[in-house]
Structure 1
Amino acid sequence: MTQQSLDTEAYHGTSHNAPAAAQPPHRHKGPVSITINVLDVNNHAPSFNQTDYNGIVKERTPAGVPFARVFATDLDDPESPNAHLSYTLVSQIPNRDNTLFFQINSNTGDISTTAEGERLLKAREGVVHSRGGDFRDSLKKKFDEYCTPTDDIPYELNPFYSCVQRAESRRLNPLEDPDFTLIVRVEDMGGESLNALNGNARVNIAVQENLWVQSNDPSALYRLVQKERELTFPFNVTEEGDILLTEELDREDKAMYILVVFAEDSHGNEVDPPLEVQVVVDDVNDNPPICEEELSSPIGDLMVHDADDINTPNALLSYSLVSQTPSSVFTIDGISGRIQAKQMLQRRDATEYHLTVRVNDPGFSTECKVLIKVIDINNELPIFEMNDYGSHNLSEDTAVGHTLLTLPHRVPHNRGQQDGVFAMETDDNGEGRLVVAKIDARNPEPLVKGLEYGAESSAVVSLAIIDVDEAPVFAMDILDVAVPEDTKEGATLLKINAKDPEGKEILFKMEGDTKGWLEIDPATGEIKIKNKAVLDRETVEAFHFTVVAFEKANPELSSEREVSVRLLDVNDNVPKLTENQAFICVKKPQPIVLTALDADADPFGAPFTFSLAQGKKSPNWDLSTVDGTSAKLTLKKSPSEDKTFLIPINIKDNAGMGITQKFEVRVCNCTELGYCFTKPDVHAGVLGMPTTVGILAGTVGFIALVLVIAFHRIKKDNQKKALQGETDAIL
């Protein structure tokens, strides 16, 4: 048994020798070795190596980049979970918007900024001095800029200077006046147990202005580039990291610049991550107000633009009226620039007003010219000179736009209604009758409130419509016909519809039928295909002619319309070979290309189907298709002597219509130029048996014909003499 508590930090594993006693008759020799392992329990809390830590962070330090670190230890067994430490951030002071600017790595204790901290951390305003310079010199220079120094009082004895000096001294020691205080906690057992032990510490953080670029490597060289692709880049960086302005800036051209600073060694290698710097250009009053509308403007807000920052007093404008002609009837709001009329405007008094407006900002003044036009409104009644303008005659063929009567009405600036003035009526026979038309002088725009039209704004006109004999009128303006080309003779092509406005009898005639295919019924206007006329699309695809309709009693009154006829294709043609004979040289046989044409259009034309008429393969010839209109005829076996072949070839069009045609091929010996020839020693002076028989038969036939004619003449003369003898006997 143990006599005191064990500590695993003092006894990790202990061996002891103990004597052994046994009851007789059993005996043991020597001591027995016993090993006792002391197991660790979590009885030590972790502790930081400091109670207070200090850290300095610059503005816009990238999130996640450590700038401080805390460290803690635990006396428990480092191999057990009891010594597994975890760091957490308990609180941030101050934390006004409940936004954490800092974070801590739970495993390493590294402290860095959050994304919000990178964006929002700002340093207190203070004295800025160049890196490597004397703080006291910078402080004196800044004090001289803002205060009036006294020659007989040293800086150190000036109470204002001492106050500023003490404040700036605290800025150099974060413990005296930190910007933020963080409470950090460390827990053992990985911070995952409710029984974990913990320790706490403070971290005091001061935020410094990032007015110059400074690397952790004192030998770093700095290079400045622009993030945006701009034509001008008015910045430079010194060897110490000071960013300098090389030329004057203009906020109206560019309000912000984004710079990227690289810290590199002498070999061009980066020693620190690139730093992004945003330069915001403050506005100064360097732009005068500009009038956007110099010539004319409606009554309302005056459009004036100032290029200075609208969020500064530099763009605060004030307005005043300098002059107005022909009279002073307008006012202007000094803040908004809104122009208003002080009284009701009358267009009879003035149609235009010219105003001069002065626009001021804190440093500039501009005059704007404003033209105000008075627009007419419907505020006066029109009045006719008479209420009845009498009776008038009007022919029914009066041209559009003809002035029959002028109806004046007195109104200073109003136009009367001009459409729907006359109401004209005719009966079915075209007879005119008296029409009474009431004329109202109205404006499409409503009258102003309080005015209404009365009897003085209306007048009556009586019109008598006189009938006029007019030419016949066709029912349709466009006459187009499409018929198949195989339409039979006597078939009706179309019937012309026309009538006379006065109901008189009309007749029809046709002009321009150059093919002579058509005829028209003069009474009915029915157009038919003539007898024996054959329409052929392959001859003419479309043709035109004119139909004339005229009064029977007065043919001079006529109207005409052009008729367009389009012939539709039918399959009335078969494919035909363009050539019907050819020859092949025996020594150098070449295939013959057969080409066919079909006068019909698609789908009754190509592609064609070529085949040998026998319907089976030929021992001497082979026929294969080349394209839609051609085929290739090939000699498979050469004859022993010159020979002429008549080959039947069947050609069908795309619709399957076709005929069999004979194609003559002479197979022969050829000259060097590739033409057939006959040897002189074989055929010279020798006639074959068929030729000899033909010559003899022709000669015999000719002799027989001469004898028949001679006997016929003799017989005719004898008959004539006998008839003459009989006549003489009667007399």
Structure 2
Amino acid sequence: MWLCLEGLSVTGPLKDMDFSVQEGGGPRILHQFKLEPPAVSFRTSGEKAGIIDIEPRTGILYINGSLDWETQQVHKLQVESLDESGKTVKGPYTVTINVEDINDNPPEFNQTKYYGVVRQNSRPGKPFMYVHATDRDNPATLHAQLSYSILHHFPNPYDEMLFQIDNATGAISPSSYYLDPQKQDTFILVVSVKDMAGTTTNAFTSSVDVIITVKESLWKAPPIIYIKENSTQVHPVNISKVQSNEPGVIYGIFEKENLPRLPFSISENGDIYVTQPLDREERDNYTFFVVSKDNTGELVDKPLQIQVIVEDINDNPPVCQQDLTVIEVQENEKGGSNIGTVFATDMDKKDTLNSRLHFQIQSQEPEFPSDNLFYIQQDTGTLQLAGRSLSKRDSAKYFLKVLVTDPQFETICNVEVHVIDINDEIPIFKNSDYGSVTLAEDIPIGSVVLEIEATDGDEPATGSSLIIYQVKEGDPNNTFTIETDSETNRGFIRINKALDFETMSVYNLVINATNPEPLVEGVEYNSSSLTKLKVSVTNVEEPPAFQKPVYKTEVSEDIPVNTLVMTVEAYDPEGDSVRYSLEGDVRKWLRIDSATGQVYTASPLDRETEETYSVEVVASELSKVFLILHLSDVNDNYPQIATDYPTFFCYPVSGGERALIQATDADEQFFYSKFTFSLADEMNARNNWEISKFNATHAYLSLKHGNFEEKAYDVPIILNDNGKPPLENKVNLKVSICKCSSENSCFIEIDRQHSWPTTGQAIGILLGVLIIIGNCAVGVGQHRVEEQRGNWGGIRKLADKE
């Protein structure tokens, strides 16, 4: 045990002892050893440091001065007792004095002043210098645990300090990216260190000045780098260089976009290279980042963004936009008119001389009636007639070769000029009146009604001769449409919308024929381009149509007879009145008003018989639609006891046995989700029986005593289904008290004093017993069952005898 004494308070026999004594404190008594005869005195030896001793006669062990932990942490002494002749009686025993440290040394910095250098844009939190202090007190205690902090920051141009110090390691680092030698290049920090881990106000504190010089950052992004495309230099080619503020960093590149391959690299010295020739037409600029990391993979500086612009050279020839440019010119086009444009492109940089194109007609075929019928604007490629109109009689086509050049390359574009006949002939109908046709109103949409034809004297297969047929009058609802066969110019009149005799029975159509190309000046369409057709529509009897594909509704099963359920509506396209009837009303629950379609209940509904009731409504014996009633439940069925199995107890009873009984209800579960069981106050029921809840649908019936005879009992039970409103029912549950066999079944004993039963009677008895056996586990529960093996044998012998 460790003892620490101030003054004499403990005495005892001489033995090994340990003491714990705080350093300093001056003289003190540690212990008094008792003299045991024949001993008359004590003697000490060992590490006494000149101040630890024992009073020989009294045995008082004391310290006459102050101990110092920093000088010696443990003193070991030997103490022995002596007799009158100076011989050892007991001992020597070891006395160990452990010196406890007190906080009596302030921390000391290992330098009187510190100097540090930090670069602009150095990463916040990355140390650039350290301060270090020591404390002579015990390092295993708070006395020597040091905590660093920054007391002052000169100057301090911002609300927050620009530097921070790790309170445990003394590491000094920037706290932001605000350092700028152009604004302030020197700072003085007053750094404080406290012992006691800085947790108490009476800790020793020392401070030191730290002079920090801010130097310009070496870590700078180079200006935009320009590289000419398709360089023939040997790659890789050095294009720039970066340098970190910290020595020995590892440089790396990562891309801003997910390119298949970045054609740039960086060396261990920070030299940036392009690794292959670049193609401006593939990509005209690149943006990527350069990073510097230490050997642990941690970022040293902020990533630098590098931007590369790929400069264009003239390395792409002009390209014709079409292999053959086809231009159509009408015969009457005036000289000087723009007739089309030859388009060409150059993949070199837009709006530079490298992509500037010139156009020139190199040849014309045929050169008739002259060799300079066309002119092309050299900068736009716009093709014009040089001075006169073209004539199809001279040539139907002209072939031009257009030379397209940029400052270095040239390309030939082929042009074909078609001379188009002018539209100076109008279409003329073969028949000015196509008479009349009669159509049934149910003719399918798309059916061809009639074929018509007009002729045009202009050049075939051109916009001047193609005929477009249209119904000009007599068809306000676009019931008809006319398609043109472009090869024969015949027109086919088709049904575009369904005919309706009741809406319109006769159409007097006026049809015109026109060309897609405009007529030349002075030529007009006239009556020769018009024809007539009369269309008569005949009536077809149509069945009535219901307004809904199916009629559904939900009604309560207890609605009164003659209640209106819904109204079914159908309309007759002919305008005739509709008569309604029902089919499939097998339960005779409904009736319908034949004139109005109103459906009423004809007899009481019952959800428990049929929850969804479906019948068909017939309109005028032609159309049918389903009518579906969903019957919602009402609480109209009284709860009952389930009769799936008999309830019995094995005789004799001892009291306390119980059997599980179940309540059922034909209504939806909503009305009987929780039954209430109780005993009626009759037939002495409450003195003999007891009911306790098992769950929402089951309860236990228990015997309250053991004085029951071997017979059947009627137990009056009141059931409540907790519906809204609830229904209550009193039932008499048949409970048998009977002897049981070893198979836990109720046993019926034969009376041998009377005549033997017939074989049929014996089998009937046996079947009755077997029915009871099938449910014995539910009825018996935990009750005692007697063995009745002999009686079973009697029944079997009786059957065999008969």
Q: TM-score range by the shorter chain?
A: 0.3 to 0.5
Higher helix share: 1
Higher strand share: 2
